[in-house]
Amino acid sequence: MSSDAAIRTGAIPERLLEPPLTEGVVTPGSLDDQVLAFPDRRPPKQWYIGLAITLTALVIGFGFIGYTIATGIGVWGNNSPVFWAFDIINFVFWVGIGHAGTLISAILFLFRKRWRNAIARFAEAMTIFAVMCAGIFPLIHVGRPWLAFWLFPYPNQRGVWTNFRSPLLWDVFAVSTYFSVSLMFWFLGLVPDIASMRDRTTSKVRKTIYTVLSLGWRGAASHWQHYEKAYLLLAGLATGLVLSVHSVVSFDFATSVVPGWHMTIFPPYFVAGAIFAGFSMVVIVLVVVRETMQLKNLITIRHLDVMNKVILGMSCLMGYSYIMEGFTAWYSMNEYLHHTFMNIISGTYGWAGWLTISCNIFIPQLLWFKKCRTSYFWMIFVALAVTVGMWFERFVIIVISLHQDYLPSAWRIYKPTMVDFGVLLGSFGLFFTLVLLFARVLPVIATTEVKAILPGAQPSHHGDDHE
Amino acid sequence: MSQQNRSTTNLLRGTLAIGAVGVVAAFLKAGPERFWANWLLWFVLLFTVGVGSLFIVALEHLVNAKWSVPIRRIPERIATLLIPVVPIGLLAIGALPVLFPGTRPEALHNKILAGKAFWLSLPFVSVRTVIVLALLILGLVVLVGGSLKQDQTRDPAFNIRARKFAPAFMAIFALAITLVAFDWISGLTPEWYSDIFGVYLFAGAFLGGLAATSLAVLHLKDQDRLEGVRKDHLYNLGGFLFAFTVFWSYIGFAQYMLMWYANLPDEVIYFQTRLTGGWHVVTVMLAFLHFVMPFFALVTRDAKGDGSRLRRVAYLMLAAHILDIYWLIFPILPGGPHFSWPEASFALLFLSGAILWVRGALQKGEDMPVGDPFLKEGLEFRL
Amino acid sequence: MSSGKSFAVLGLFDTPDALMGAIPQVGAKKLGALEAYTPYPLHGIDDALERRRSPLGGMVLVMGILGAITAFGFEYWISAIDYPIVTGGKAPSSWEAFVPIMFEVTVLFATFTAGLGMLLLLNKLPFFGHPVLSSDAIKAITRDRFALAIESEGEGFDAEAAKAALLAAGATQIEVLPEPDRGPFLTSDYILRVAGGIFAACVVAGLAMYGAVKLFPVLPPMSHMEDQPRLNAQKADPFFKDGFGMRMPVAGTVARGYLPLGVASQDEAASLVNPLPSSPQVLAAGKKIFHNRCELCHGALGNGVPTLTAAYGAKPANLQAQQFRDYPDGKIFWAITMGKNAMPSHAADLTETQRWEVVHYVRALQRAQNATDEDVKEAGTR
C-alpha cells in the first residue's frame, strides 16, 4: 500500500533536524590526537590550582574522619531520635550522583542515543568516584569500621549469620554490586582506548603501564564480536541494576513505619531523583571539562541541551512524586502522615522543605526555554540549584521525618556539628580530586565509541539491507 | 482475503450480539454489584489500552524517535478506542453508588471517609472523570487527528506542533492515569492508599498498549500491508515489551513488599484479601502470567525479534493485563473470585466490540504516516 | 621473525569499505584463516568473516539463573534452616525479604560472566605475546586504519601467495608476522588458574570454619554470650544435691514489708487493733478500694446486694448484718487478708495499710446505714 513513491521525500525543515554530534572536521586520527594526547602533555596551571583546592578539602575531610573514628560518632550531631543524619544524607546523595553515569552508559546505550558516546566515559568515571564517596559514610557510621566485614555472610568463628531480612544488609549487597559492575563496565570501555594510548605514547614507563592495563588488546574482529556482545549484555544488566540500587536504598526508609519514610512511591521516586542529581553534576563537570580541555568540538552545545532536557524531565517526575506525597498525606487521612507533611512545609525545618521544592521543581522549569538550556550561566545555575536541592531533599526525608515521630516526648531538634560539615567537605574533596586525576591520566572521551559514529566510519550498506 | 475478512467480521458481530444479550441478562439477573464490577473492569481495560497506545504515539514525538515512525499509525488507530471509552466511562458513573463506599451516606460516619467525603462524592468523581476524558480526547485530536491530516497535506509543521504538544500531553497523561487509578480502582477501597498506584496502572496501561500495538502490527504484516517494517522494528517492540514487563513487576513487587514489610493494618488489608482463599490462586497466576512467562519468553536477544513469539507474548500480555485489572477490581465482591456467564458475556461484548472498532479503524486511510518527513529514515532503521 | 616461520600476513586498508571489499576477495582464495584488526567494531564484519555467533548471551543467562538460585538458596538456608531467628515479626522463611539480594547476586554473577568471560574465556586476554602487538601496523590499527590478516592454519602456509592476495585486494601496506610468543607471563589461563585456586581455597576455608564451629565444637573460640558458666534459676542443675539451680531461703526468712500477723485464726485476729486513725483521707482511700474490689459482690452499701447478678452462684455476705456489725476490726481484717468462703484472699493485691483502710470504710458504711439521732447531730456540728 505504501510503496516508496508514496513516501514523502521532500527536504526536512531545519527545525526538525538534529545538529551533528561533532563540530568541524573530526577524523579518527584527529580524535586520538586531541583526546589521547592529554596524558602526555604537562597539565596547565589551572589544573594544579584545582588539585590544590580539592586536595585541601580532602585532607581536611579525612582529618575529620580520622577524628570521628578515633573518638566515636558522638562527635556528630546525631541524637535520639535523629539517629540518622548527615552520614546517611551524604550516602544517599552520593549514590544518587552515581546513577547518572550508569544511565548514560547503559540505558541510553540500549536506546541507541548516540549522543551519549562522547560523554559516557566521564559520566561512568563519576559513577565510580561517587560510589566511592558514598561508601565512606555507612562505613564510618557503623562506628567500628574495622569490623565492617561482619556485614558479609561468611562462615565465622562467632557462629552467627547476617540477617537477610534487614534492608541495611540489602544495601551492602546492592552498593558493592553496583560498584563492581560499574568498575567493570568502565574498565571494559577503557581497554581499547588504553590500547590506543599504548601505541602512541613515547614514554617507556607509560607504555609499560598502558600495555598491562590494555591486556594486550589488539582490535581483532573476533575480539570485537564478543566485546560488543558483552557490552550490550552489561548495558542491559546495568539498567536493571541502576533501578535496583536506589530502590534498595529507598527500602532502608520505606520498609519502616516512620511517617514520611513509609511510602510506596519511594523506589521509583528515589531512582528519578538520583538520575536528576547525577545529571546536574555531570553538566557542571562537563562544562568545565569542555572549556578547559578544548573539547568543544566533541562535547557540543547539543549534548548539553539534551542533558538539560533530561534534567527537566526528571524535575517533572520529581514534581509528580512531591504532589503524590502531599496528596497521600491528605488522602490517607492519617494524622501522622499529615503531621510529617506539614512539618516539611511549615515546621522548624520548613525552610529546608521549601528550599528542596524550589531547587528541584521551580528553578529547573527555566529549562523549558532553549536559551537557558544552551547558556552556561543558566545551566550552571540550574545544575547547582539541583545539587543543593537534592542534598536537602535527603535532609528533609531523613531529619524531618525522624525529629518528630509518633512519640511527642521524644521529639528533638537536630543540629549538625563542625565534624559533620568537615566530613561532607571531605567527600567533595575526594570526588573532585579523583575527577581531576582521571582527567589527566585516562582518556576522558571514549574515543573508540566516538570513532564508530563519525560520518563514514561504518562500511556502506552491506548484507541484506537493500535489494 | 476480503472474503475471509468479511466472515471474521460477521463472526465478531455474532459474538458481539451474544455478549450484548448476556450483558442485558446480567443487568437483570446477576445483581447490580456484579454487573457494575464487570462494567468497571472493561471501562478501565479499554481506557488503559487506548491511553497506553496514545502514550506510545506521544513518546515518539517527545524523544524524536525515528524507528517507530513506520508503525506509528497502528497505535494511533488503537488510541481511537478512547472515543467509545467516553460513553462507557460516563455510564460507569452508575457504578459509583453501588460499588464505591465513599459515595454512600454511611461514609460520613467513618472517620477516614468523612474527611475526604467531598473528594469521594459522586458529583466530584464524575466531574473529574469528565475532565480526564475531555483532556484525552483533546490529546487524541491533536496527535492522531493531526497525523491523519498530514497524510494529505504532507506538511512537516505537524511534527513541530506534535513535538511541542508532547510534553503537555505527558502532563495530561500523568493526571489522567493517576486520577483513574485513584478514583475508579483505589476508590473501591477508599480507606486504603498507596502513592505508587498511579504508576502501577501506568505500567499496566503501557504494556496493554504495547501488546495491542504489537498484535496489530503483526496482523497487518501478515497481510503485507506494512512493507518495509522489518525484524529490527519488531525487535524494538519486543524490547519495550520486555523492559516494561520488568518495570511492572518492579512496581508491583515494591508496592507489595513495602506493605508486607511494614505490616500496617490499614495498608496490608489490601493484600490480605488477595492472598487468602480463592484470590491467592489468582495472585500467583498473575505473577506467573504477567511476569515469569513473558520475562523468560523474551529474555534472549533472538526472542525479541521473533514475530511468532512476539505474537504469543502479546496475546499473553493482553490476557495478563485483563487479569491484572480483574485482580484489582473484583476482590471487593464477597465470596472469592467470580467467573461465570456474566463475566464471559461482558468479555464477548467488549472484546468483539473493541476488535471490530480497531479493525474498522485500520481499514481506513494509509497504513503508515506517509506524510511524515522521517518515514524514510524510520524504514531504514537497522539495529 | 624470530622463529623464522611466518605466522600471518597482514595488509592495511585505509577505509572500512576497502576492508569489507577485500574480505570476500581474499577469502575466496582459501590461503588461511582470516582475521581483521580494526580500531572500532565494524557493522557486518562478523557476517563477512563468517563468524559463529558469540555464545556469551547463553553463558550469561545460565550464570544469571545460577546466581539467582545460589543467592536465594543461601539466604533461605541461613534464615530458615541454619540460623532461624524471627526478626521484625517476619517468619524465618519469608521469601519477600530475600528478593533484593537475590536480584543483586543475579546481576553480579551475570556481569562477571559477561565481562570476565568475554576477556578471559572467549578472547583469551590478557595476552601480550601476539605478533600484531609488536608489528609496525599496530599503531595504525588502534588509530584509524583497518587490517586484514591471513593467518596460518598449520603446515603449508604460503606467505608469498598471501601477500599477493592482499595486495591484489587493495592493501596499502603489507607486513609478515612471526609466530606468537607463548610466554607464561600473565596469560588468561594463568589468571583463571590463580582465581580458581583462590576461590577453591576460600570454599575450603569456609567449610572448615563452618564445620569447626557448628559440627565439631572442639574449640569454641569466640562464643561470647552463647555459653555462660552460671546456674539458671528455674532450671534443673546437677551442681547442688537437690538438683535445683535455685536455692531456697533460710528458714525463718521474712520478706521486707511483710511481717507476719502473729495470729493463727480469725478468732485470734479479734485482738488486732486498727492502727490507722479514722480520718477523711483514710476513709476516702478505703472508699476507693472498696469501690474497686468489694462493691462488686458486697454491694455499694455493703448490704450483700451486689451489682453482680445472681448468675454468680455464691451468696456474698451482708456486711450490714448484726453479726458483722459486732465483729471486731481484727476479724474483718482477717477475712480480707485470708479470704472467706468464696471470697479470695486480697493479701496479694492490697497492702496491710490498704486493708486497714477498707476496714475503716466498712465501719463507716455500717454506721451510716444504722445512723442514730446522735450521729445526725454530730454530722450537723461538723
Cα–Cα separations (whole angstroms), residue A239 to A272, A314, C57, C59, C171 = 13, 17, 16, 19, 42
Which residue is associated with the grid cell 536455692?
A: C247
pLDDT on residue A1: 40
B:330-359 residues touching chain A, CB 8 A cutoff = none
Evaluate if residue B276 carries a pLDDT over 70: yes
The residue among A108 and A419 whose pLDDT is bigger is A419
Q: Which residue of C has its CA nearest to B259?
A: C96
Q: What is the mean pLDDT of chain B?
A: 93
pLDDT tens per residue, range B28-53: 988 899 999 999 999 999 999 999 99
> Between chains, do C127 and A216 touch, taking CB under 8 Å as contact?
yes
What interface predicted TM-score (ipTM) does this complex get? 0.94
Say if CB C190 and CB C25 are below 8 A apart.
no
Which chain A residue's Cα is nearest to C208? A155
φ/ψ (deg, to 5) at C12: -100, 140
Helix (H) or strand (E) holding A212: helix A204-213
pLDDT score of B293: 96
What's C84's DSSP letter? -
Which residues 79-138 on chain B approach chain A with CB closer than 8 angstroms? 111-113, 115-116, 119
CB nearest to B258's CB, from A110, A254, A328: A254
Task: Cell numbers for A448, please give them.
Answer: 573508540
Give the model confidence (pLDDT) of A117-156 as tens digits: 888 999 999 999 999 999 999 999 998 999 999 999 998 8
To test the contact with chain C by mutation, choose from A180, A229, A243, A245 the residue with the greatest count of C C-beta atoms within 10 A, namely A229
Contact between B256 and B309 under an 8 Å Cβ cutoff? The reply is no
Q: In chain B, what residues touch A401 (CB-CB under 8 Å)?
A: none
Q: Which of B286, B271, B377, B257 is nearest to B331 (CA)?
A: B271
Residue B101 · residue B107 · CB < 8 Å: yes
Is C115 touching B (CB cutoff 8 A)? no
pLDDT band at C4 (very low <50, low <70, confident <90, very high): low
Arithmetic mean of pLDDT, C226-239: 77
Does residue C220 register a pLDDT over 90?
A: no
Contact A241 C104 (CB under 8 A): yes
Mutate to test the interface with C, among A168, A186, A201, A226 (most CBs of C within 10 A): A226
C61–B300 CB contact, under 8 Å: yes
| Residue in A with minimal Cα distance to C42 | A458
Other Cβ atoms closer than 10 A to A381 = 14
Q: Is the pLDDT of residue B383 over 80?
A: no
* Cα B168 to Cα B178: distance, rounded to the nearest angstrom: 16
In chain B, which residues have their Cβ closer than 8 Å to the Cβ of A465?
A: 382
Q: Answer with the residue of higher pLDDT: A42 or C106.
A: C106
The H or E element spanning position C148 is strand C146-151
Please tell me the predicted confidence (pLDDT) of residue C206: 92
Q: Is the pLDDT of residue C218 over 50?
A: yes
What is residue C3's predicted lDDT score, i.e. its pLDDT?
A: 46
Cβ pair B154:A320 closer than 8 A: no
Interface test with C, best of B256, B260, B283 (most C CBs within 10 A): B260
Tell me the average pLDDT across A40-68.
93
DSSP characters over A384-452: HHHHHHHHHHHHIIIIIHHHS-S-GGG-------HHHHHHHHHHHHHHHHHHHHHHHHS-SS-HHHHHH
- Can you give the pLDDT at residue A8? 54
Range C316-323 average pLDDT: 88
The answer, for A16 touching chain B at a CB cutoff of 8 Å, is yes
By the CB < 8 Å criterion, does B222 face chain A? no
Please, which chains are in contact with B (at least 3 CB pairs closer than 8 A)?
A, C
**Mutation for testing the A interface, residue in B195, B271, B382 having most A CBs under 10 Å:** B195
Give dist(CA B82, CA C27) in Å, integer.
58
Contact A298, A34 (CB under 8 A): yes
pLDDT score, position B153: 87
Query: Above 70 in pLDDT, residue C219?
Result: no
The proportion of chain C whose per-residue pLDDT surpasses 70, expressed as a percent, equals 93
Residue A2's pLDDT is 41
Chain A residues lying within 8 Å of C112, measured CB to CB? 180, 184
Mean pLDDT for C47-63 is 92
Tell me how close the Cα of C207 comes to any Cα of chain A, in angstroms.
7
Query: Residues B161-194: pLDDT tens digits?
Result: 999 999 999 999 999 999 999 999 999 999 999 9
- pLDDT, mean of residues B128-137: 96
Is B301 within 8 Å of chain C by CB? yes
Between positions 85 and 144 of C, the ones with CB within 8 A of A are 85, 87-88, 90, 94, 97-98, 100-101, 103-105, 107-108, 110-112, 114-119, 122-123, 125-130, 132-133, 138-139, 141-144
B129 band by pLDDT with thresholds 50, 70 and 90 = very high
Average pLDDT, chain C: 87
Q: What is the mean pLDDT of residues B292-312?
A: 92
Mean pLDDT of the C305-332 span: 82
- The pLDDT value recorded for residue A274 is 94
Closest alpha carbon within chain A to C53: A225
For residue A467, what pLDDT is reported?
31
> Is it the case that residue B16 has pLDDT exceeding 80?
yes
Cα C19–chain centre separation: 59
Quick check: C382 pLDDT over 70? no
Contacts of A101 (CB under 8 A, 6+ apart): A123, A124, A125, A126, A127, A128, A130, A182, A278, A282
The pLDDT tens digits for A313-351 are: 999 999 999 999 999 999 999 999 999 999 999 989 999
Q: Is the peptide bond before C217 cis (omega within 30 degrees of 0)?
A: no
pLDDT bin (cut points 50, 70, 90) of residue C252 is confident
| Residue B261 forms contact with A (CB below 8 Å) | yes
* Cell 590500547, located at residue: A195
**Chain B residues inside the 8 Å CB shell of C99:** 253, 257
Query: Between residues A200 and C377, which one has the greater pLDDT?
Result: A200
User: Would you call C62 helix, strand, or coil by DSSP?
Assistant: helix
Task: Tell me the per-residue pLDDT of B323-361, one tens digit each, with 9 for 90 and over.
Answer: 999 999 999 998 889 899 999 999 999 999 999 999 999
pLDDT at A360: 96
Q: Which chains touch C (3 or more CB pairs under 8 A)?
A: A, B
Question: Is C179:C3 a contact under the CB 8 Å cutoff?
Answer: yes
Q: What percent of chain A clears pLDDT 90, i.e. is strictly above it?
A: 73
Grid cell at residue C27: 577469502
In chain A, what are the domain boundaries? 42-152+160-170+242-450
Percent of chain B with pLDDT over 70: 99
pLDDT at C89: 87
Q: What pLDDT does B98 receive?
A: 92
How far apart are alpha carbons B379 and A281 in whole angstroms? 37
SS3 C87: strand
Cα angle: B277, vertex B281, B282; to 5 degrees: 105
- Residue in chain B closest to C91 (alpha carbons) equals B261
pLDDT tens track for A1-37: 444 445 555 667 777 788 888 888 888 888 888 888 8
pLDDT of amino acid A10: 61
- Does residue C2 register a pLDDT over 50? no
> What contacts C371, CB < 8 A, 6 or more positions away?
none
Contacts of C105 in chain A (CB under 8 A): 173, 177
Chain A interface includes C181 (CB < 8 A): no
Expressed in angstroms, the distance from the first to the final Cα of chain C is 131
DSSP character at residue C96: G
